Structure 1
Amino acid sequence: MNVGDQKEAVKMAFDQLRANKLRSGLTILGIVIGVVTVIAISSVINGLNSQVSGMVEAMGTNVIWVFRFPVIGVRPTTEMLTRKQLTMEDAEAMAQLPHVVAVSPSLRYQNFQFNAGSVTAKYGTHKVESVSLEGDTTSSKDVYDWDVHEGRYFNEGDQERAANVTVLGHDTAEDLFGEESPIGKEVQIEGGTFTVVGTLEKQKSAFGGGKNPEDNFAYFPITTFHKLHPEVLDYWVSVKFDDQKNKAAVIDSITDQLRRRRKVHNEAEDNFAIFGSDSITRLWTQITGSLFLLMFGLSAVGLMVGGVGVMNIMLVSVTERTREIGVRKAIGATKKIILMQFTLEAITLCALGGIIGILLGSGLAMGLRFILSSQVSLLWVTAAFLSSCGIGLVFGIYPAWKAANLNPIDALRYE
């Protein structure tokens, strides 16, 4: 079949589409839905992947965290919850290890009776609900590379005196003070009065939309936090190291040190947990893997339904055009030409559905950018289009074969 015949076959395919607009539209609906699903879900996943990568980078690739039990991807057991808590002395010992640049032990108060962070901060007639409280050492700013928006971070003197000072997250400061400078002003938190010495820059949102919970925090010197909530003693420790290539060595050193300090027997498992930003990446990879499976399932159903519809419509077309096929065979059309003609018609039908699906899916992905981060992937656009064409080939081959094998004499007699 030469190029001219192929062009003629495609032209005839479009003629059939125009002649049966409603029937053709309903036929390719499954193809359209399948392709829209692929484009929309893959775009959202790509966008979220970029946001997670940015969040991990903001957290610091050269930072690891030490907890008394795993906090990511694991449901704590009774044994984990009853483990010995980490101490300030543990953190001080970690600071002496090779390749460690800075260490910050932290404490956090959240009233879980009303879910995370139900503390109220007040300034005059203004108040902010659901503020989380965190106690840190002065080194926390260096560990997390926090940028101070206004004022300063608390210093060693504040920590030694357990001074009643606080550094506010961006949203907390903005909601309490608006355009007014908060520096030197006093806020009421948990029945105490604290002088605002600084505010932090706004943190990146993890998934591209909404607020970052870290912006609704009030930070205190660790000694001040002890006065405010002496019952909270469950430290976690943030450790910043010098170079990514030394990460494994730092983790091994911390593990050996904590096993000795916590008197863990040789054959026993660690009674603490160490994780880094790669742990978040691994968890996210598992989540996106499940989303991709969902996408594959939904799109496969749509494409299969569309494929069956295409096969049915092509069989109907073969029946309706039986005399036409007989005439073409009578004037010299071979089986191969008839086979290619009807196969190209099926592929053209599905390709049109693929193009419509790509346009609708891309439009949906663009609309989702106002809610979730989304990025249309050329790879998935190409894969979706080729899949739709492949469906046309697979489901169009039987009707094409049936048309090619019609007896020309019987076809000419068909009424």
Structure 2
Amino acid sequence: MPISNSGESIRMAFDTLRNNKLRSGLTVLGIVIGVTTVIAISSIINGLNNNVSSLVSSFGTNLFWVYRMPLIQTSRPSPEMLNRPKLTVQEAEDMAHLPGVVAVDAGMRYNPAFQPGDIGVRYGKKKVAGTILQGDMASLAQTEDLHLLAGRMFTPEEANRHANVVILSHDTAAQLFDPIQSAVGKEVQIGGEVFTVIGVFDKTKSVFGGSGKNPEDNKATFPDGTFRKLHPEEDDYFIEVKYSSDKVKALVQDEIESVLRRDRRLRADQPDNFVISSPDAITRLWTQITGGIALFMVAISSLGLMVGGVGVMNIMLVSVTERTREIGVRKAIGATRGNIMMQFTTEATTLCAIGGLIGIAIGGLITLALRLMLPATMSTFWSLTGFLGSCAIGLVFGIYPAWKAAHLDPIEALRYE
């Protein structure tokens, strides 16, 4: 009976796979590796992309960052950048009077990871090491979308009189107090000074997720004047500018640039010695990075799929030779060349499709395992792309064996032993 429909061809393909399990498994190994690579790498990229988007959102909307050099750098700062004049509180105050500006915060920080000495935070016999110390203006609450687990932000009055108050980040408070909420009202020692805890920040989002610690969750935030009592040598401010809406974004950026160039007495032919950036700069940089990773992923997976395709062609050629007499019988009872082509092409495509499904399943298991360390999220688009790619490999590399089978001489095929 001629093979005249794809359903019968698929049934025969499964019969062939069942009769040659080991050979079929080795044949589709390249397909499985290629699709698994696509799923695993795309899951990592997709998870990190989601985390970056969430992180950017957590910074708040309508925000500019101003600093003397780029806050996000892919290489070491140049000597010219390092020698630029530092931003000042006066410059921040000048920006606060610009049209469209809602709030401005000038802050600085002391990071023991990059500087000698670690004073830490003490409460009784407990101590937290490696704590980042940060000083901000009272307008911090307006410039950033901050979330407090307990307590409150410091007031302008506390900032003006340099009050010894502090807001602890989540991990810092968690190591000193149980429960965390009980930290409010307690007194902690930092750098030989005693500070009253008035608030505790919630955990911050991390790009890489997982169970690792986020350095931003081990931080103590003070009013700017209070911070400078601990570190009078620090004078390197970064400035955050919150503007009212996207409609005034370009105007506010131009005004900030004009104010800074005027304050710094820059001539028209001199370049800016400061950088104005926004949270979406993180997204653009990350898109560039993931674009390169995606190209690497496509290259590696394509190599695996090509190797798998060669294996499929090889096994199908062997199958044509083994089934020469069967092909002759089918032609003798009425099967056309098109029927034979359909049968063997469908077998090759089915073989690769099964390899694709196995690769997706393994990739899913790897994604679940990766979630213990990284924010991996399985991508429907790349899963579908991997499956369709494996089917396409089966179709392309199965055509020649199918053509060879279809053009066998039926008389010679019937004589084949």
Q: For this structure pair, what is the TM-score category when the shorter chain's length is used for normalisation?
A: over 0.9
Aligned to 2:165: 165
Counterpart in the other structure of 2:83:
82
Secondary structure, counterpart of 2:390 in structure 1: helix
User: Which secondary structure does the structure 2 equivalent of 1:374 belong to?
Assistant: coil
Matched, 1:199 2:200: yes
Q: Is 1:384 aligned to residue 386 of structure 2?
A: yes
Q: 1:142 to 1:122 in 2, by over 3 A?
A: same
- Deviation track 1:312-336 (CA, whole Å, cap 9, x = no partner) reads 0001111111111122222222221
Q: What is the alpha-carbon distance in structure 1 between the residues aligned to residue 189 and residue 199 of structure 2?
A: 16
Amino acid aligned to 2:206: S
1:209-288 superposed matches below 5 A: 209-210=210-211, 211-288=213-290
Distance in 1, Cα, partners of 2:365 & 2:119: 42
Q: 1:221 to 1:39 in 2, by over 3 A?
A: same
> Counterparts of 2:268 and 2:411 in 1: how far apart (Å)?
88
Greater shift after overlay, 18-27 or 138-147? 138-147
Report the more deviating stretch, 354-363 or 338-347: 354-363
The offset of 1:190, in angstroms, is: 2.1
Q: What is the CA-CA distance between 1:412 and the residue it aligns to?
A: 2.1
Paired position in structure 2 for 1:179 = 179
Structure 1 residue 195 displacement after superposition: 1.9
Report the CA distance shift for 1:308/1:118 in structure 2 as closer, same or farther (over 3 A): farther
- Counterpart of 2:374 in structure 1 is 372
| Superimposed CA distance per residue, residues 162-207 of structure 1 (whole angstroms, 9 cap, x where no aligned partner) | 2222111111111111227222322121232222222222223333
Instruction: Indicate yes or no: 2:342 matched with 1:340.
Output: yes
User: Given the alignment, which residue of 300, 303, 311 partners 2:302?
Assistant: 300
Task: Describe the superposition over 1:291-340 as per-residue Cα deviations: whole angstroms up to 9, x where unpaired.
Answer: 21121112111111110100000011111111111222222222211111
What CA distance in whole angstroms lies between the structure 2 residues aligned with 1:213 and 1:398? 58
1:208 corresponds to 2:209: yes
**Deviates further, 330-339 or 347-356:** 330-339
Instruction: Give the Cα separation in 2 of the matches to 1:87 and 1:165.
Output: 23
For 2:136, give the aligned amino acid: D
**Distance in 1 between residues matched to 2:15 and 2:312, nearest whole Å:** 16
Shift of residue 129 of structure 1? 1.1
Q: In structure 2, how many angstroms separate the alpha carbons of the residues matched to 1:3 and 1:91?
A: 80
Moved more, 249-258 or 185-194: 185-194
Is 2:169–2:219's contact at 8 Å kept on the other side of the alignment? yes
Q: Deviations over 1:266-292 (max 9, x none)?
A: 122211001101101101111111221
Cα distance in 2 for residues equivalent to 1:2 and 1:323: 14
What SS does structure 2 have at the residue aligned with 1:130? coil
Report the AA paired with residue 400 of structure 1: A
Q: Secondary structure at the match of 2:236?
A: coil
Question: Gaps (5+ residues) in structure 1?
Answer: none
In the other structure, the counterpart of 1:123 is 123
Look up the match of 2:351. Answer: 349
In 1, the alpha carbon distance for the partners of 2:378 and 2:396 equals 27
- The code of the aligned residue for 1:311 comes to M
> What residue ranges of structure 2 are gaps of 5+ in the alignment?
none
Match of 1:94 in 2: 95
The share of aligned pairs that are identical, in percent, is: 57
In 2, Cα distance between the equivalents of 1:160 and 1:7? Answer: 81
